[in-house]
């Protein structure tokens, strides 16, 4: 059996008899790996009613101090295949080392602790050592135990390149390097750190990390993948990070900004975080299914981002390893189940304002509300004597869905059918009905303002049929004939309201009735009602649209033309009335089980005994409560991972019992606590990390570490990391001298190879920018979910369809083809070449400059020779400028260029 | 401490990737893979994906009862509580086919008049007539057929295979995707994505034309010698970093650049079918140099000849609901004309070259179509997930064999049901992979292509 050296070290430690067995470190992982799939939290699948990671259950199979009297030990160590656990049919036996750990654990009293990640903060102090920086004291103490020396500090050039790439995502300029090299003060390094943390580019770089988690894109996804305006949310993230918004506030505004008292426009925009879910606009897609998928994604993303938890596993059944039950999953879902979005349309959204545009918009909205009120009044006057009906059930054949709005009008959404039969059902609103009225209502969401869904806004009702039966009965529906023919068509409605009344041959009896109304619309070419209202009367059946009504509607339309031209952003908004939430059996929304109310999983909630939270806002506040140690551990760990390539917990998205144990548990604990103590300042934690000697070490490969700590878990050196896609392109942009440093705004379209969209359903228009927008930072490049910018995917940027907590770097030939041949890259090599050719100077001097611009260091003598030779060969083949472009091209293609040491 | 195999540790730890990548790129015949526990019957797969869901009732499944009940209300058991994408269950009517069928070959398989070429090779085909899937809309159903899961995030079958057994192609990617028809398949790149597997396992989409991979062409004014010099200079300078950087990382990098350089030559050579005889071009029905399904079928053969493990061809527009441009009349006939001859030619050509024995060919879409018609301007059927048909050929499948029995109107499977998970398990099995052992740990869970389902259909294997 092959063990990782880490495991060897731990086993060696645990095997030494004087070292106490630690339940969390030594025992729980054995249970999690071999036992809890059958003897775990899932009651449905639990065998022998035994839950090994639970103290009550454990006491039934363990006799503290006496392994030989413990059923647990007897079964795992048994040589009898019929008795041995785990059963031979399922898995291999535990190895002797593991059995020994269990024996000694029982001997030492079989202590149990909750899983470390779900436990409250431990009081931790940095070890007493001479190193001034607390992080170094933790790390050096651990290195010493492993018998490894730390690496010396990296040289200054490496340091500033590392800092620059990590903090602002671009290489430093030669001038920045020279300034740092010339600064002999003791604060030189700290000054660079402060300068970079204050740079607006820092916010861009770290916003990009956050957008990976937020699954940000500029389109709706799935088949149609229509455009969406999400960039105001992206800019919100950049601004929040630039001003070092405390992480608790950062969380609350994104998860529940809309529920804050009198939320600002920015706080509404912040809720775009969970509007980055996809919308399936494919014909035949169902509102509710789409909505449920979005809500589930929000639960799973929240779990991964804040709780470092694989909640998704509990969607279909109780979690196999972690203490999250099936019902608890849906309690979490209940928090997110109340928003108005999530169907196949893109609402709700807000116009994004700033100081200049806010008064404009407010004045516009105030007037619009006045006009809307006038319209309501006019409608009411015109329908006096009629009672609007709010059906309880609606259905439509051939694909569309009917949504009942607050004013009892009904909007036909989603698929636009050729023909359709609308069916409505519900209690009769008044007794003794003698006529039915249909108002066809124009709407801003309909083509040509409607009221129908045909291209012209027209509609055609082929027949109106009215049925009734006694309330609540299951009798056959009785049809009531109409006195007149019931067809009604308005093929060219001009975006105006229309009304028609149909008298019943005989009035309905005065007793309580349920009504069933059918509107057949067989005309074809989408001539179906778009928005309409059904009303009844027991009196005179006259229906007309008054001049007052038309005028009020036209005034609203005219006003809407004046709407300030502002960008909009998708936001969260609670809907009313609230929905009930049910457990979905086996994860299927078609199979609802017990009703549940919003709550957080009990195992995560060790600190908030007060009343269970109920709203998204309360959930957000619970997540970032200072005592919610798990969330703070997960957060600092992910930041750590960005600076070292690997988190202190290497499974950054799984802090559960099957996740990796922290390499430096005390450091993680201390750092998480520090986040709280530093008032949730991200910059403070980043400054703390990058000013440590641990961070500043050289990353040079070391034989002893390669042999004894191949994962570099003990941090005996820095890691050499592949740059993110964005950092590669942004660095090339900066070195080329072409970079535009403009911050924010709508997405841009730099050149991309032709035919990128040939593999998606809809050809996306991609007109390459001319001018400065061609050279904006990669953060601003438009992201179509179905066909992202190829440079990004080639260099491992995530598909923005699900949250991504860590990019896994790959090394592929397509990357080589991109860096070597992509016209966009070639354009940047020409930019760098132009800079190299400026002024007078020898080729040697220019080559030295090239190295400094691209790699932040001068070439070695050997490198210089290789490049001079190459330049000479190029000069014999091509023009001077082409030869220098070729030099720049070589530099952009070096392994060193796309890595940070 | 959790026990993790070294390979997995390195891969998931994001460190030391270089040596692993090298291992996969150069020595990519991963014979020692734990996933490969069985003797493989197939070495490669060509999946002809008919995007949109072709109608089994117009192509492969004549049903006398359905003909007789044309225009009648379907039994309530087929509509009550069922999900349809568009059909209104209350008004659904059964729809008999307008196509005539006859039986073909020694196996006597029924094939409609629309597929005369397929009719000639039925004795090489292994029919799966009782397929069932979970998803009723195109995007999710395509994801399900490709990744075993109806939403984004899981690796595709080709990626799983690449991860499990690597590729034998030295100068081409191991998993290639081709496309023909009016547009790309709904769902886009996640259909051939690598999900949580390392990104190098994702499918590489080849575009039509002479530059199938982006950035395959050297910059303007750069001939092969100059490009070679460029690659050599990069490699020379990269090698100077050895010592500072671990050697295998640098060598892996250089290997990638070498493969890139070779692809610049090998890929245009691959897609240039000029060296194929007229007889071959005629067999496939390749009429001109333009992109077509026929040309893609020929390219697929050329790819597997060069060791590519998994080739997937998408052909769009099988979604025949009954709209004027999208119905079971002329639009269906046109689709059949586009794919019939070349699909049959591919099987024939592989067979006569001795390649069919270890190449598995699969033909079908993400679901089938309802026995009920839709109320639209022309004749059409809705999406159907309870029973549909695919065929396979070669790669160890039983030739001239039919599996799966549906009821009289073809609504449900009454015997020999095959869930998509079972199909996946069987395909992996034919490649020598145990679908329960091909796992990848992500977020603390061991994931499989077949999730917690799937059984190998030994009945389909010769």
- Specify the CATH number for the domain of residue A401: 2.60.120
Helix then strand then coil, % of chain B, to nearest 5 = 35, 20, 45
Nearest residue in A to B209, CA atom: A755
Measured CA to CA, the distance from residue A731 to residue A740 in angstroms comes to: 12
| Phi, psi dihedrals of residue A645, rounded to the nearest 5° | 90, -25
Residue A223: pLDDT band by 50, 70, 90 thresholds? low
Do B235 and B137 share a structural domain?
no
pLDDT of A167 higher than 50: yes
Nearest C-alpha neighbor of A640 from the set A765, A805, A483: A805
Q: Are A719 and A151 in contact (CB under 8 A)?
A: no
Residue A264 belongs to some domain of the structure: yes
Interface of A with B in 512-541 (CB under 8 A): 524
pLDDT of residue B291: 80
Residue B322 falls within a domain, yes or no?
Answer: yes
Q: Is residue B32 over pLDDT 90? A: no
Distance from the Cα of B235 to chain A's closest Cα (Å) equals 8
SS3 B33: coil
Question: What is the model's pLDDT at position B367?
Answer: 97
Residue B276 lies in a domain: no
CB contact under 8 A, B200 and A29: no
The answer to whether A463 faces chain B, any CB pair under 8 Å, is no
| Distance from C-alpha of A38 to C-alpha of A157, rounded to nearest angstrom | 55
Helix (H, G, I), strand (E, B) or coil at A724: coil
Q: Do the Cβ atoms of B85 and A646 come within 8 Å?
A: no
Its ipTM equals: 0.78
The packing angle between helices A200-214 and A725-736, to 10°, is: 150
Residue A476's SS3 state is coil
Domain count across chain A: 5
Confidence grade of residue B5 (pLDDT, cut at 50, 70, 90): very low
Domain count, chain B: 2
Residue A653 reports pLDDT greater than 90: no
Pairing of strands B310-315, B44-50: parallel
Q: Cα distance from A285 to chain B (closest Cα, Å)?
A: 7
Query: Is A796 in Cβ contact with B199 (below 8 Å)?
Result: yes
How many Å apart are CA A335 and CA A426, to the nearest integer?
A: 30
**pLDDT tens digits, one per residue of A285-306:** 677 888 888 999 999 999 999 9
The answer as to whether A212 is a domain residue is: no
Asked whether residue B60 falls in the same domain as residue B157, the answer is yes
Contact by Cβ (8 Å): B323, B9: no
Answer whether residue B108 is part of any domain: yes
The H-or-E segment that residue B422 falls in is helix B420-430
CA distance linking residue A679 with residue B76, whole number of Å: 64
Please indicate, yes or no, if residue B9 is contained in any of the structural domains.
no
| One domain, residues A285 and A376 | no
> Which residue from B16, B177, B221 is facing A710, i.e. has the nearest CB?
B16
Q: Which range, of A470-484, A737-751, B416-430, averages the lowest pLDDT?
A: A470-484
What are B58's two structure tokens?
């117009």
Q: Do B262 and B335 belong to one domain?
A: no
Is residue B25 over pLDDT 60? no
Looking at the fold, whether A395 and A303 belong to one and the same domain comes out as no
Asked whether residue A510 is assigned to any structural domain, the reply reads: yes
Same domain, A390 and A527: yes
Q: A222, A294 in Cβ contact below 8 A?
A: no
User: From the list B179, B244, B375, which residue is nearest A759 (CB)?
Assistant: B179
Check residue B186 and give its pLDDT: 63
- Report residue B247's pLDDT band, with 50, 70 and 90 as the boundaries: confident
User: Which pLDDT does position A617 carry in this prediction?
Assistant: 95
Same domain? A357 vs A506? no
For B443, which of A654, A870, A893 is closest by C-beta distance? A654
Which among A757, A793, A863 has the least Cβ separation from residue B240? Answer: A863
Contact of A20 with A104, CB cutoff 8 Å: no
> Is the CB of residue B122 less than 8 Å from the CB of residue B393?
no
Copy the structure tokens of residue A762.
Answer: 């809809």
Q: Least CB-CB distance to A821: which of B215, B259, B383?
A: B215
pLDDT above 70 (res B17): no
Distance of alpha carbon A775 from alpha carbon A769, whole angstroms: 9
pLDDT at position B109, please? 96
Same domain, yes or no: A397 and A513: yes
The CATH number of the domain holding residue B112 is 3.40.720.10
Among A74-83, A527-536, A615-624, B401-410, the range scoring the smallest mean pLDDT is: A74-83
Is B256 a domain residue? yes
pLDDT of residue B187: 64
A467-526 residue pLDDT tens: 999 988 888 999 999 998 888 999 999 999 999 999 999 999 888 899 999 999 999 899
Q: Is A756 contained in some domain?
A: no
Binary contact (A650, B12; C-beta < 8 A): yes
B153 lies in the same domain as B288: yes
A550, pLDDT greater than 90: yes
Residues of chain A contacting residue B244, judged by C-beta atoms under 8 Å apart? 700-701, 901
Residue B369 belongs to a domain = yes
Considering the domain architecture, whether residues A467 and A428 belong to the same structural domain is answered as yes
In terms of Cα–Cα distance, which of A602, A117, A577 is closest to A338? A577
Q: Do A894 and B229 touch (CB under 8 A)?
A: no
Same domain flag for A358 and A420? no
pLDDT at A757: 56
Residue B27, pLDDT above cutoff 70: no
Interface contact flag, B151 A293, Cβ < 8 Å: yes
Q: What is the pLDDT of residue A17?
A: 56
Q: B361 and B249: one domain?
A: no
Q: Are residues B313 and B342 in the same domain?
A: yes
A708 occurs within a structural domain: no
Same domain? A370 vs A397: no
**If you ran DSSP here, which 8-state letter would residue A391 be given?**
-
Measure in Å the smallest separation between the Cα of A376 and chain B Cα atoms.
Answer: 35
pLDDT (tens digit, 9 = 90+) per residue, A413-447? 878 899 999 999 999 999 999 999 999 999 988 88
Is A460 in the same domain as A555?
Answer: no
Residues A445 and A558 placed together within one structural domain of the fold: no
Q: Is A799 on the interface with B (CB under 8 A)?
A: yes
Q: How far is CA A855 from the centre of its chain?
A: 34
Structural domain boundaries enclosing B252: 226-271
- Tens digits of per-residue pLDDT, A791-843? 998 898 988 888 999 887 877 788 999 999 999 999 999 999 999 999 888 99
Shared-domain flag, residues B404 and B434: yes
Are B230 and A889 within 8 A, CB to CB?
Answer: yes
DSSP B383: E
pLDDT at A195: 97
Is the same domain home to A406 and A307? no
Alpha carbon of B64: minimum distance to chain A alpha carbons (Å) = 27
Quick: pLDDT tens for A100-151. Answer: 888 888 888 888 888 899 999 999 999 999 999 999 999 999 999 999 999 9
pLDDT one-digit tens code per residue, B92-138: 889 999 999 999 999 999 999 999 999 999 999 999 999 999 988 88
Are A895 and B253 in contact (CB < 8 Å)?
A: yes
Quickly list H helices, A279-400.
Answer: 287-306, 326-336, 357-382
Q: Specify the residue for token string 């979910």.
A: A785
Shortest Cα distance from A519 to chain B (angstroms)? Answer: 14
What is the DSSP track for A849-898?
HHHHHHHSSPPPHHHHHHHHHHHHHHHHHS-HHHHHHHHHHHHHHSTTTT
Q: Which tokens in the block code for residue A468?
A: 């009734």
Residues 217-236 of A with CB under 8 A from B: 222-223, 225
Asked if residue A724 is part of any domain, the answer here is no
Asked if B294 and B402 sit in the same domain, the reply is: yes
Could you tell me if B258 and B302 lie in one domain? Answer: no
Which of the four pLDDT bands, split at 50, 70 and 90, describes residue A764? low
Q: Using an 8 Å Cβ cutoff, are B389 and B53 in contact?
A: no
**Domain span holding position A321:** 253-344+577-599+606-614
Give the C-alpha separation, A455 to A448, whole Å. Answer: 7
Residue A200: inside a domain, yes or no? Answer: no
Residue A343: predicted pLDDT: 66
Co-location of A280 and A375 in the same domain = no
Mutation pick from B237, B267, B321 vs chain A, by most beta carbons of A within 10 Å, is B237
In whole angstroms, give the CA distance from residue A120 to residue A129: 26
Residues B178, B266: one domain?
no
**What token pair was written down for A727?**
């950092």
| pLDDT given at position A838 | 92
Summarised one tens digit per residue, pLDDT across range B224-238 is 999 999 999 999 999
Tokens, residue B437? 């052992």
Domain-located, residue A308: yes
Q: Which helix (H) or strand (E) holds B362?
A: strand B359-364
The residue assigned the tokens 């984004």 is B152
Select the highest-mean-pLDDT range: A224-233, A701-710, B228-237: B228-237
Instruction: Please state, as a whole number, how many other Cβ atoms lie within 10 Å of the Cβ of residue A224.
Output: 19
Between A188-198 and A200-214, two packed helices, what is the crossing angle to 10 degrees? 60
Q: Are B136 and A284 in contact (CB < 8 Å)? A: yes
Decide if A802 and B250 are in contact by the 8 Å CB cutoff: no
CA distance A101 to A110: 11
Residues of B in contact with A796 (CB under 8 A): 199
The DSSP code for A23 is I
The two three-digit tokens of residue A840, written as one number: 């007078």
Contact status of A645 with chain B (Cβ, < 8 Å)? yes
* Same domain membership, residue B169 and residue B109: yes
Taking a contact as any Cβ pair under 8 Å apart, which residues of chain A between 584 and 643 contact chain B?
A: 590
Does residue B296 form part of some domain?
yes
Q: Which residue of chain B has the CA closest to A304? A: B443
Same domain, B444 and B371: yes
pLDDT at A660: 84
Q: Are the Cβ atoms of A759 and B207 closer than 8 angstroms?
A: yes
CA dist A535 → B26, B293, B336 (Å): 75, 56, 52
In this predicted model, what pLDDT tens digit does every residue of B179-213 receive, in sequence order?
A: 887 766 666 777 988 888 876 788 888 877 667 88
- A556: Cα within 13 Å, side-chain hemisphere: 22
| Count of beta carbons in the 10 Å neighbourhood of residue A523 | 20
pLDDT at A14 over 50: no
pLDDT, chain A, mean: 89
């Amino acid at each position: 059996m092959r063990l990782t050296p880490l495991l060897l070290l731990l086993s060696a430690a645990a095997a030494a008899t004087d070292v106490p067995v630690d339940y969390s470190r030594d025992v729980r992982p054995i249970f999690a790996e071999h036992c809890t799939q059958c003897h775990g939290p899932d009651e449905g699948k639990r065998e022998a009613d035994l839950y090994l990671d639970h103290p009550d259950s454990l006491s039934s199979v363990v006799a503290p101090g006496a392994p030989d009297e413990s059923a647990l030990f007897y079964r795992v160590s048994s040589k009898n295949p019929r008795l041995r656990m785990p059963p031979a049919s399922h898995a291999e036996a535990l190895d002797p080392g593991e059995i020994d750990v269990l024996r000694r654990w029982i001997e030492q009293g079989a202590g149990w602790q909750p899983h470390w990640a779900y436990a409250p903060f431990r009081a931790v102090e940095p070890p007493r050592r001479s190193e001034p920086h607390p992080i170094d004291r933790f790390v050096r103490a651990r290195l010493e135990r492993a018998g490894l020396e730390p690496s010396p500090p990296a040289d200054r050039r490496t340091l500033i390149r590392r800092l620059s790439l990590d903090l602002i995502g671009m290489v430093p300029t030669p001038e920045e390097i020279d300034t740092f090299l010339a600064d002999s003060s003791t604060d030189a390094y700290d000054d660079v750190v402060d300068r970079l943390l204050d740079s607006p580019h820092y916010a861009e770089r770290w916003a990009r990390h956050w957008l990976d988690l937020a699954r940000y894109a500029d389109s709706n996804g799935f088949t149609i993948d229509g455009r969406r305006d999400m960039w105001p949310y992206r800019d919100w993230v950049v601004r929040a990070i630039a001003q070092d918004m405390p992480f608790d506030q950062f969380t609350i505004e994104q998860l529940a900004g809309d529920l804050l008292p009198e939320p600002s426009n920015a706080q509404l925009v912040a809720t775009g975080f969970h509007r980055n879910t996809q919308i399936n606009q494919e014909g035949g897609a169902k509102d509710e299914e789409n909505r449920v998928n979005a809500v589930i994604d929000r639960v799973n993303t929240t779990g991964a981002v804040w709780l470092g938890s694989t909640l998704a596993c509990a969607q279909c059944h109780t979690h196999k390893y972690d203490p999250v039950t099936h019902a608890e999953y849906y309690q979490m879902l209940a928090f997110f189940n109340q928003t108005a979005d999530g169907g196949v349309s893109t609402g709700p959204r807000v116009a994004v304002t700033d100081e200049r545009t806010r008064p404009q918009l407010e004045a516009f909205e105030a007037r619009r509300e006045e006009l809307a009120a006038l319209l309501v009044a006019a409608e009411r006057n015109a329908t006096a004597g009629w009672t609007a009906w709010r059906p309880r059930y609606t259905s439509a054949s051939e694909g569309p869905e009917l949504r009942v709005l607050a004013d009892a009008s009904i909007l036909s959404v989603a698929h636009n059918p050729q023909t359709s039969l609308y069916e409505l059902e519900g209690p009769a609103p008044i007794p003794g009905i003698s006529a039915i009225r249909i108002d066809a209502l124009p709407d801003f969401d309909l083509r040509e303002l409607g009221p129908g869904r045909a291209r012209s806004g027209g509609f055609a009702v082929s027949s109106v049929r009215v049925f009734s039966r006694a309330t609540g009965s299951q009798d056959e529906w009785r049809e009531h004939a109409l006195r007149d023919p019931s067809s009604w068509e308005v093929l060219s409605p001009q975006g105006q309201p229309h009304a028609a009344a149909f008298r019943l041959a005989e009035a309905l009896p005065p007793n309580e009735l349920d009504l069933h109304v059918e509107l057949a619309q067989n005309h074809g070419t989408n001539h179906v009602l778009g928005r309409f209202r059904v009303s009844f009367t027991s009196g005179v059946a006259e229906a007309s649209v008054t001049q007052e009504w038309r005028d009020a509607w036209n005034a609203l339309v005219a006003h809407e033309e004046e709407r300030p031209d502002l960008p909009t952003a998708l936001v969260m908004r609670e809907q009313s009335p609230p929905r009930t939430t049910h457990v979905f059996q086996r994860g299927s929304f078609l199979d609802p089980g017990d009703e549940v109310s919003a709550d957080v999983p009990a195992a995560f909630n060790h600190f908030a005994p007060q009343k269970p939270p109920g709203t998204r806002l309360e959930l957000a506040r619970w997540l970032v409560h200072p005592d919610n140690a798990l969330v703070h551990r997960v957060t600092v760990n992910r930041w750590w991972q960005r600076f070292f390539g690997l988190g202190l917990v290497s499974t950054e998205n799984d802090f559960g019992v099957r996740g990796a144990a922290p390499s430096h548990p005390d450091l993680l604990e201390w750092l998480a606590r520090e986040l709280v103590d530093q008032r949730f300042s991200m910059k403070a934690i980043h400054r703390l990390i990058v000013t440590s000697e641990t961070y500043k070490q050289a990353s040079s490969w070391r034989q002893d570490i390669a042999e004894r700590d191949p994962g570099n878990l003990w941090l005996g050196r820095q890691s050499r990391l592949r740059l993110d896609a964005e950092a590669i392109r942004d660095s090339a942009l900066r070195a080329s001298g072409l970079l535009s440093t403009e911050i924010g705004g709508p997405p841009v379209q730099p050149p991309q190879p032709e035919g990128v969209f040939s593999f998606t359903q809809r050809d996306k228009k991609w007109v390459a920018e001319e001018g400065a927008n061609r050279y904006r930072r990669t953060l601003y490049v438009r992201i179509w979910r179905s066909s992202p910018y190829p440079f990004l995917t080639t260099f491992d940027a995530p598909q923005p369809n699900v949250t991504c907590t860590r990019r896994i770097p790959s090394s592929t030939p397509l990357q080589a083809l991109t860096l070597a041949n992509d016209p966009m890259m070639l354009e940047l090599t020409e930019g760098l070449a132009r800079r190299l050719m400026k002024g007078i100077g020898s080729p040697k001097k220019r080559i030295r400059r090239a190295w400094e611009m691209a790699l932040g260091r001068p070439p070695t003598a050997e490198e210089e020779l290789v490049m001079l030779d190459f330049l000479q060969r190029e000069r014999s083949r091509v023009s001077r400028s082409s030869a220098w472009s070729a030099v720049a091209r070589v530099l952009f293609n070096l392994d060193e260029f796309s890595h940070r040491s | 401490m959790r026990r993790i195999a070294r390979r997995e540790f390195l891969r998931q730890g994001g460190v030391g990737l270089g040596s692993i990548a090298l291992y996969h790129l150069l020595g990519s015949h991963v014979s020692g893979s734990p996933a490969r526990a069985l003797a493989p019957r197939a070495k490669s797969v060509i999946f002809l994906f008919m995007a949109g869901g072709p109608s089994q009732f117009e192509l492969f499944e004549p049903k006398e009862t359905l003909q007789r009940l044309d225009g009648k209300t379907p039994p309530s058991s087929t509509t009550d509580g069922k999900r349809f994408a568009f059909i209104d269950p209350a008004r659904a009517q059964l729809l008999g086919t307008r196509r005539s069928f006859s039986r073909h070959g020694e196996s006597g398989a029924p094939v409609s008049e629309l597929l005369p070429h397929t009719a000639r090779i039925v004795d090489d085909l292994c029919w799966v007539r009782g397929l069932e899937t979970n998803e009723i809309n195109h995007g999710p159903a395509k994801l399900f057929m490709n990744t075993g899961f109806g939403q984004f995030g899981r690796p595709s079958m080709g990626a799983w295979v690449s991860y499990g057994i690597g590729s034998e192609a030295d100068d081409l990617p191991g998993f290639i995707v081709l496309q023909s028809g009016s547009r790309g398949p709904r769902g886009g790149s996640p259909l051939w994505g690598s999900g949580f597997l390392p990104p190098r396992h994702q499918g590489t989409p080849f575009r039509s034309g002479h530059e199938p991979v982006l950035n395959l062409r050297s910059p303007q004014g750069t001939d092969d010698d100059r490009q070679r010099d460029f690659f050599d200079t990069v490699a020379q300078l990269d090698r100077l970093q050895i010592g500072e950087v671990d050697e295998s990382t640098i060598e892996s990098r250089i290997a990638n650049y070498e493969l890139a350089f070779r692809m610049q030559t090998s890929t245009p050579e691959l897609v240039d079918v000029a060296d194929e005889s007229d007889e071959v071009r005629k067999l496939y029905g390749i009429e001109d140099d333009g992109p077509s399904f026929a040309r893609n079928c020929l390219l697929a053969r050329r790819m597997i000849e060069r060791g590519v493990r998994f080739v997937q061809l998408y052909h769009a527009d099988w979604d025949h609901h009954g709209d004027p441009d999208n119905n079971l009349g002329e639009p269906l006939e046109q689709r059949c004309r586009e794919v019939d001859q070349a699909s049959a030619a591919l099987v024939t050509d592989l067979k006569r070259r001795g390649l069919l024995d270890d190449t598995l060919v699969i033909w079908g879409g993400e679901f089938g179509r309802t026995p009920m018609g839709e109320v639209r301007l022309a004749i059409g059927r809705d999406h159907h997930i309870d029973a549909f048909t695919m065929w396979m050929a070669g790669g160890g499948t039983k030739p001239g064999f039919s599996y799966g029995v549906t009821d009289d109107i073809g609504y449900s499977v009454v015997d020999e049901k095959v869930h998509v998970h079972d199909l996946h398990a069987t395909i992996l099995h034919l490649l020598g992979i145990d679908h329960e052992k091909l796992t990848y740990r992500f977020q603390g869970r061991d994931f499989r292509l077949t999730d917690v389902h799937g059984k190998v259909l030994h009945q389909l294997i010769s």
